[in-house]
Structures are given as structure tokens and as C-alpha cells.
């Protein structure tokens, strides 16, 4: 949902992998386009039902447009923007999809001890990573306190599909989870065609099903987190799962040699600052994987691994050390690690 200034190299690695595995006679349909300030790539292997690629892409674009119209903070007339603009005296009726995503985010807020907080928007904007402009100088403590006072999940009220708020200045930002939801939406659409398999990717978040055209399982390369160059850290075989990756090494800005992350710790109001460089989360639903990936980055290595253990989550963490990278897997992740 936000503009990404830098190319998503992670995705390039994935597709380089796929290309090498594609045969000449392949009936695979490959579609790509733009959405949510980023790109999407889809590969679908038809099953018995024939698929008209052009007609399918029209449906996909429509589905992704609908998610933008529901949840983008970059669109002033989206459902979410209209909710953000209204006062606490009003309520607004929104789509079941928007309510579903907000409910999931609230659930994840509780499970992650507040690391994922969709009301953190004012702080995201203050630090220059929202639809507003990037700040010229680092905000003062007073400014941070002022914006932090506007945050709090308890200010959101949900009654069926009607949303209300108990704080006039509440501002909800679904960027951390909406891309994953978009992937789930497209996957559900593809399921209607009963395909042999597919790969859906939006801005680096992925959902997989079935097999590739050569009847082999999908293999996904997780990139080594570095600012320049592309190197594969690990190849994984997720099966019929979703995979989300959150990283801090390309989406940041620098001031006086200091780097500021686009992820904010809602508990302090400051951008995160630790050695954890990338998090990969596997989950059935991409929305859930996406939300967890952001939360795990905020939590840092120790708390992320503890949470993964408690909730039996499949996660892979890459820490940047002076002498290279250190990789951590939760127990639930280990079965997905491919042996080359």
C-alpha cells in the first residue's frame, strides 16, 4: 500500500529460479502488473479446465483494485481513508473484507504483544513513511509523544460491518497486512479454475498451490539481506502455503549517516533498531504470514523466536553480524528447508 522506491530484488530471485525450470512447451500462464504501489507476478498451470489468460488478468486486476478501494491509505476515498477522516461522532459501513482484515490485525496485535499495531499510522507518517512527505529532520520527543497519543487499538469499534472510533484522531494503516490479503484474494480467484498449481506474488508476499509445469514442487529462494547485489540465503519448499518476508535493508532513509526503518515499534514510537535484517514467515493464509512478518521484525530475534515457539509458527530469521549473516529457524520451519 505504500510506494516502494527500491526494486524488490527478492522477487527477482524467485523468478530467476522459475525461469530455469520452465520448459519450452509449457502451458504455464504468466501474468504481471502493478498494484498497491508495488508489482505482482502470477504463474498458473491450468488443470483440466482451459484458462483464458487475458480474461483472467482482467479479473485479477479488478480484485486487486477492489482491495485498494477498500484498504489503501493512499486513496483519499477508500473505505479506510473515509474511516480515518470521519469524526468519533460518526460510524461507517464498510465491506466484509475490510472488517476481516481489521479483525485479523487486532487478533495479531494481541498475540504479538502489540508489536503489530494498525493504529501506528500517525507515527509512520511522522517518521516519513506514510502517504505524507518524508521529514527533513528527526522528530522531537514532543512530536513523537503527540502522535503516539493518537494510537491505540482500543479506539477501534466494530459492530458487524460498521466501524466506529472513540478517538477523533485515530488513523488506521493496513499496509503491514493488506498485501497478504490481496494475495489471498487472487489465490481464491485462481482456485475457481481448479488449476494444477499456481504461484501468486504481490510485493514479495507469496502464496503457492500444487506443482509447477514440470510437476515438481515449488521452490522459493530467500534472499540474503544486503543492500547491493543478490545472493540466495536459503531455498525452501513450502508446499501449499503462503510465505511473507519482511526486511529492513531496502526500505529506509538515511540522515547524518543514521538509518531509519519504515517499521515502527508502537510501544516506543521509534523506528526499530536492531540486528535482525530479515524475517520469513510461512502460514496457510498470506494475510496472516504478512502480519506476522512485520511483527517479528519489530520484536527482534529473541522475542520472535519465543513467540514462534509458543504459537508453533514457521519462521526464519536472518541477523546481520559484523562477519556475515546468522540464520535462525523455528522448529516448525525446519521441514520446509530444502536440501540442495
Would you tell me which residues interact with Mg ion (CB under 5 A)? 176, 290, 293-294
290 binding ligand ADP? (CB under 6 A): yes
187 binding ligand ADP? (CB under 6 A): no
The residue from 56, 120, 222, 281 that contacts ligand ADP (CB under 6 A) is 120
Of 81-89, 115-123, 144-152, 326-334, the window that binds ligand ADP (rule: CB under 6 A) is 115-123
Q: How far apart are CA 81 and CA 76, in angstroms?
A: 5
327 closest CA partner among 215, 236, 233, 205: 233
Task: Report CA-CA distances (Å) from 3 to 66, 126, 288.
Answer: 18, 16, 22
CA 11-180-103 angle, to 5 degrees, is: 165
- The distance of closest approach from Cβ of residue 118 to ligand ADP in the complex, given in angstroms and rounded to an integer, is 5
- The distance of closest approach from Cβ of residue 267 to ligand ADP in the complex, given in angstroms and rounded to an integer, is 9
Cβ–Cβ under 8 Å, residues 41 and 35:
no
CA 278-245-185 angle, to 5 degrees, is: 165
- The distance of closest approach from Cβ of residue 39 to ligand ADP in the complex, given in angstroms and rounded to an integer, is 13
**Residue 87: φ, ψ to 5°:** -90, 170
Query: DSSP states of 201-249 as a string?
Result: EETTEEEEEEB-TTSPBP-EEEEP--SSS--EEEEE---S-EEEEEESS
- The distance of closest approach from Cβ of residue 245 to Mg ion in the complex, given in angstroms and rounded to an integer, is 9
The residue from 266, 304, 305, 329 that contacts ligand ADP (CB under 6 A) is 266
The residue from 68, 294, 305, 307 that contacts ligand ADP (CB under 6 A) is 294
Q: In the 8-state DSSP scheme, what is residue 337?
A: B
285 binding ligand ADP? (CB under 6 A): no
Minimum CB distance to ligand ADP smaller for 29 or for 244: 244
Residue 118, contacted partner among ligand ADP, Mg ion, none, CB below 5-8 A by kind:
ligand ADP
Of 41-49, 173-181, 207-215, 300-308, the window that binds ligand ADP (rule: CB under 6 A) is 173-181
124 binding ligand ADP? (CB under 6 A): yes
Cβ–Cβ under 8 Å, residues 235 and 221:
yes
Helix (H) or strand (E) holding 307: helix 301-311
- The distance of closest approach from Cβ of residue 333 to ligand ADP in the complex, given in angstroms and rounded to an integer, is 17
Binding site for ligand ADP (CB under 6 A): 2, 116-118, 120, 124, 129, 173, 175-176, 179, 246-247, 251, 262-264, 266, 290, 293-294, 297-298
Amino acid at each position: 500500500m505504500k510506494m516502494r522506491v527500491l526494486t524488490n530484488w527478492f522477487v527477482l530471485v524467485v523468478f530467476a529460479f522459475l525461469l530455469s525450470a520452465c520448459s519450452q512447451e509449457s502451458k504455464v500462464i504468466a501474468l504481471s502488473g502493478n498494484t498497491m504501489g508495488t508489482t505482482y507476478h502470477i504463474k498458473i498451470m491450468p488443470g483440466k479446465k482451459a484458462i483464458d489468460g487475458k480474461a483472467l488478468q482482467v479479473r485479477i486486476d479488478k480484485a486487486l483494485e477492489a482491495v485498494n478501494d477498500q484498504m489503501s491509505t493512499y486513496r483519499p476515498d477508500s473505505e479506510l481513508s473515509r474511516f480515518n477522516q470521519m469524526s468519533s461522532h460518526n460510524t461507517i459501513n464498510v465491506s466484509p473484507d475490510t472488517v476481516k482484515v481489521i479483525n485479523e490485525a487486532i487478533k495479531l496485535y494481541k498475540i504479538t504483544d502489540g508489536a503489530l499495531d494498525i493504529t501506528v499510522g500517525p507515527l509512520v507518517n511522522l517518521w516519513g513513511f506514510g502517504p505524507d512527505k518524508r521529514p527533513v529532520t528527526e522528530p522531537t520527543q514532543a512530536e513523537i509523544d503527540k502522535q503516539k497519543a493518537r494510537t491505540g487499538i482500543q479506539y477501534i469499534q466494530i459492530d458487524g460491518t460498521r466501524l466506529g472510533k472513540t478517538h477523533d484522531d485515530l488513523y488506521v494503516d493496513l499496509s503491514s497486512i493488506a498485501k497478504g490479503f490481496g494475495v489471498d484474494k487472487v489465490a481464491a480467484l485462481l482456485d475457481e479454475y481448479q488449476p494444477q498449481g499456481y504461484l501468486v506474488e504481490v510485493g514479495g508476499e507469496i502464496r503457492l498451490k500444487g506443482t509447477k509445469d514440470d510437476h515438481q514442487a515449488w521452490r522459493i529462494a530467500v534472499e540474503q539481506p544486503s543492500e547491493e547485489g543478490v545472493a540466495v540465503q536459503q531455498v525452501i519448499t513450502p508446499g501449499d502455503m503462503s510465505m511473507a518476508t519482511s526486511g529492513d535493508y531496502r526500505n529506509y532513509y538515511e540522515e547524518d549517516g543514521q538509518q531509519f526503518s519504515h517499521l515502527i515499534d508502537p510501544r516506543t514510537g521509534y523506528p526499530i533498531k536492531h540486528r535482525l535484517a530479515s524475517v520469513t514467515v510461512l502460514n496457510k493464509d498470506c494475510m496472516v504470514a504478512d502480519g506476522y512478518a512485520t511483527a517479528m521484525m519489530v520484536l527482534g530475534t529473541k522475542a520472535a523466536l519465543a513467540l514462534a515457539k509458543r504459537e508453533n509458527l514457521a519462521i526464519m530469521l536472518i541477523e546481520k553480524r559484523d562477519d556475515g549473516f546468522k540464520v535462525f529457524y523455528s522448529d516448525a520451519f525446519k521441514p520446509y528447508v530444502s536440501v540442495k
